[in-house]
Amino acid sequence: MFKEMVQAARELLAVRSPLDAELMVSDMIGAWWGRRVRGGDVEQVLGEGLVDYAAKAGTPASLTLLICLAYLGTARQGAKAEGAALAMMESGVARPGWADRVGAVKPTGCYVSRDAYGDQDTVICTFAYRFGEGEQARAGQEPNERGRAHPVGQGREHHALVMVVDHNMSGMARDAWVSSHVDKLLEQARAEAAGNPMLLFEEIEPQQARALLESAMKATGEPKTTPPVSDSYSAYHAFARARLKALPPGRKRPAPLHIEAPYSRERRAMLAAEFLASDAAEHLSDPSAASRCADHIIDYGCEQDFSRPLRVSPTKCETFLLDWLPRKVMLSTAEQEAMPHVLAAWVRFAAVRTGLPERGLKATLDAVWEAIGKFPEAYRDPTSFGLDRALLGRLLPDGDLSALARRVFAFPFLQGVHNGVTLDDLNPADEADRRTLLEIDHVGPIDEEHLAWHEEIATRLWEGDPPQLWEAAQRLLDLGHDRHDVLHVLIEIAERIGDDPDELASALDDIADIPDGI
């Protein structure tokens, strides 16, 4: 694979600009973005492996590739590529004339197109290449008011990085592309906003753009599974990561997010009380159920939407009602019946508070009413699976439905009588009861150290920390392995790794089967 990549890098010798080269190499290394490899991190195994292979090749094409990797790679890849490139240049290997300008850009403006719902930000950052020594006169430049030169007219290789941030998906970056038609792009964005009251287009500070986009790329992350991003995102990921470093850093809060201060429990309770006392909630017939439903709506907005419980949109309401609630919250029968109606009332209440245009309010309510018909099917009451509600209460004291499977795996014996102990009276959330349950889970004597490790794993599974623990357990169970064998594998890894959370997560990710001798 490395050989094919270095051979493909010959095309870099034919391009005529650093922008084309950067985009080609970004596309090349985007081939492994988000992929998993055995034996380590993909950026180390493949990214640094490509740097080492290119360094040994010693050709003009491999030198050009290293120059681009020094700018576009991770910090480790960049340092290794830069060192190898310098050594090759000192030995006389030729490189294209434009190679010295790779990454030599300056920002020329940052803009955001934002919808009235707050669902999505389309951020546009424009750049131009800096001129090297002796290029000012040839390019027809004139000094600016600070005595620095700037290009006359369009500028040199002016281009725009465009990234789409989805605030209904934890603020992740979902799409990215590059355009060289900067003026046309900005003109079109302004025109769309001028003719649509549901859109806003404005210029923002470069520090704000950098803070927003770095947060978005971090939210997208380097996933273990394919994230819901566009087909082009991986190709532009490295280019975007590098370009953001050209923007000035700053601690300014990203303006497009309108992030509020975190809501305390008291502030959440006050907001719920204001809602229940409002005209929007006066038709709700079950005040107790309505109050609990309002708490869930507010918690979702605070914890999943950047402390914005009052932000409402068709997509956010559908996601809350048909995706988040069925996965995360155990509702009583009364709450299941009340929730869609409480959500519709909340939309009316929030729209008044935030100034959502009438058009947006109507579209959001239409989406809620359409989702109401799907909610009974989307929300499957755990009691319909034959689980006793009292048992559910012991397993889910926090109401977190997503924890049910892993907690049942950790504590499979919670009912009946064993050696005179009534298991129904034991609380798996209590430390003393938890140890009793784990002792009952074993046949015959068990030494204290081994029991302590079982307790450690059970506690981690109960809390879902790290999430890779339950993911690894499920992979092994799917292969048909016995539950106790799976637990012993998890214990062996935790005991061997120790307290390093990153190493533990990585080791769990690498587990594909039970090793011999476990």
Other beta carbons within 10 Å of 143 = 10
User: Does 255 reside within a domain?
Assistant: no
Final residue before a domain boundary, out of 101, 116, 143: 101
* Better-predicted residue by pLDDT, 257 or 381: 381
155 pLDDT above the threshold of 50: no
pLDDT of 445: 80
Residue 348 is assigned to a structural domain of this protein:
yes
Is the preceding peptide bond at 466 cis, omega within 30 degrees of 0? yes
Query: Is 449 in the same domain as 351?
Result: no
CA distances from 486 to 261, 434, 464, 490, 501 (A): 43, 19, 16, 6, 20
Report whether pLDDT(507) > 60: yes
What tens digit of pLDDT does each residue of 492-501 get?
999 999 888 8
Are residue 414 and residue 376 in the same domain, yes or no? no
In a domain, 385, yes or no: no
Q: How many CB atoms lie within 10 A of CB 390?
A: 9
pLDDT tens-digit readout, 451-492: 999 999 999 999 999 999 999 999 999 999 999 999 999 999
Considering the domain architecture, whether residues 72 and 111 belong to the same structural domain is answered as: no
Is 70 exceeded by the pLDDT of residue 144? no
- The model's confidence at residue 256, banded by pLDDT at 50, 70 and 90, is very low
Euclidean distance between CA atoms 200 and 204, whole angstroms: 12
Q: Give the count of beta carbons closer than 10 Å to the beta carbon of residue 381.
A: 16
Question: Are 111 and 232 in a shared domain?
Answer: yes
Start-to-end Cα distance in the chain: 35
Q: Between 467-478 and 501-510, two packed helices, what is the crossing angle to 10 degrees?
A: 20
DSSP string, 119-178: SEEEEEEEEEEPP-TTHHHHHTEEE-TTS-EEESTT-SS-EEEEEEEETTTTTEEEEEEE
If one counts every other C-beta atom within 10 angstroms of the C-beta of residue 245, the result is: 11
pLDDT one-digit tens code per residue, 357-393: 999 999 999 999 999 999 988 998 777 767 788 888 8
pLDDT at 260: 65
pLDDT, one tens digit per residue, over 40-63 is: 788 888 899 999 999 999 999 999
Of the candidates 410, 503, 413, the residue with the CA atom closest to the CA atom of residue 464: 410
pLDDT at 222 (0 to 100): 55
Q: Strand 421-422 and strand 172-179: pairing?
A: unpaired
Is 142 inside any structural domain?
Answer: no
In sequence order, the 6+-apart residues with CB closer than 8 A to the CB of 20 are none
Whether residue 472 is contained in a domain is answered as: yes
Instruction: Give the count of domains, the chain.
Output: 4
pLDDT value, residue 262: 86
- Average pLDDT value over all residues in the chain: 89
Per-residue confidence (pLDDT) for residue 156, from 0 to 100: 66
Does residue 297 lie within any of the structural domains? yes
Among the ranges given (26-40, 145-159, 495-509), the one the predictor scored with the smallest mean pLDDT:
145-159
Contacts of 226 (CB under 8 A, 6+ apart): 34
How far apart are alpha carbons 353 and 340 in whole angstroms? 20
Mean pLDDT for the stretch of residues 21-41: 87
Q: Are residues 376 and 362 in the same domain?
A: yes
Residues 7 and 95 in one domain: yes
* Helix, strand, or coil (residue 306): coil
Find tokens 């601690």 and name the residue: 251
Residues 279 and 353 in one domain: yes
Any idea which of 122-126, 221-225, 254-258 has the lowest mean pLDDT?
254-258
Using the structure block, give the residue that is written with the tokens 């402390």. 307
The 3 state secondary structure assigned to 370-393 is: HHHCCHHHHCCCHHHHCCCHHHHH
Residues 203 and 169 in one domain: yes
Please tell me whether residues 226 and 290 are part of one structural domain.
no
Task: Answer whether residue 391 is part of any domain.
Answer: no
Range of the domain at 29: 1-101
Q: Which amino acid is at 45?
A: V
Residues 123, 237, single domain; the answer is yes
Domain's final residue, options 353, 380, 407: 380
Percentage of the residues of the chain whose pLDDT score is greater than 70: 91
